[in-house]
């Protein structure tokens, strides 16, 4: 896979992509291995080369996403100011990834701010897509009981103002 074809890097300069790739390391995991666990220090960012990684959260291990497309990113908590991973990442197939340390990534981005901005915009799109998919999964899993909301403080505010206490 050519990393520049991955969604996160599409349209970025060759110099940025080369600098990024030169700063990564390849890692291999077996079925059942954890790439990281929820709550651990978020020090690395990952891009899937091959395999499948299940992202889970909570003590019950609720599946929130499965990383299975080459070029797909995960572990992005390390890039958005979070000190700890918000989910666990368990390999459900033999897996190869590239990883980059948080501080090294920041240095690469500082060298080419326009490419760094484009990267973060694409990362925000990835996060947004996962959030939308999570909302859809929640709606499909819930029985139809009126109008439930997930994350809309405006709707909750409207509901609380309409309800007598």
162 band by pLDDT with thresholds 50, 70 and 90: very low
Averaged pLDDT of the chain: 82
pLDDT tens column, 68-101: 999 888 998 888 889 999 999 999 999 999 999 9
Q: Which residue did the predictor score with more confidence, 162 or 93? A: 93
Instruction: Report which of 83, 78, 33, 25 is spatially closest to residue 53, judged by C-alpha positions.
Output: 33
- Nearest-Å Rg of the Cα atoms of the chain is 18
Residue 135 DSSP symbol: H
Could you list the beta-strand ranges (E) of the chain: 25-29, 34-36, 44-50, 53-57, 62-67, 73-74, 88-91, 95-101
What would the mean pLDDT of 112-136 be, rounded to a whole number?
84
Q: Give every CB contact of residue 57 below 8 A, 6+ residues apart in sequence.
A: 38, 64, 86, 87, 88
For residue 49, give the CATH number of its domain: 2.60.120.10
pTM equals 0.76
pLDDT at position 3 is 56
Number of domains observed in the structure of the chain? 1
**Residue 25 belongs to domain spanning:** 3-162
pLDDT at position 151 is 52
pLDDT at position 144 is 56
pLDDT tens column, 2-44: 454 467 788 888 899 899 999 999 999 999 999 999 999 999 9
């Amino acid at each position: 896979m050519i990393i520049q074809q991955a969604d996160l890097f599409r349209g970025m300069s060759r110099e940025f992509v080369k600098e990024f790739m030169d700063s990564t390391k390849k890692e291999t995991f077996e079925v059942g291995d954890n790439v990281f666990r929820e709550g651990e220090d978020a020090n690395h960012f990952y891009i899937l080369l091959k395999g499948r990684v299940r992202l889970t959260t909570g003590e019950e291990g609720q599946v929130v996403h499965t990383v299975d497309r080459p070029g797909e990113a995960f572990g992005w908590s390390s890039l958005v100011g979070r000190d700890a991973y918000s989910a666990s990442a368990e390999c459900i197939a033999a897996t190869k990834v590239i990883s980059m340390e948080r501080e090294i990534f920041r240095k690469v981005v500082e060298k080419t701010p326009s490419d760094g901005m484009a990267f973060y915009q694409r990362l925000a799109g990835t996060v947004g897509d996962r959030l939308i998919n999570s909302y859809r999964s929640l709606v499909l899993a819930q029985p139809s009981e009126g109008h439930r909301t997930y994350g809309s403080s405006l709707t909750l505010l409207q509901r609380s103002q309409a309800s007598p206490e």
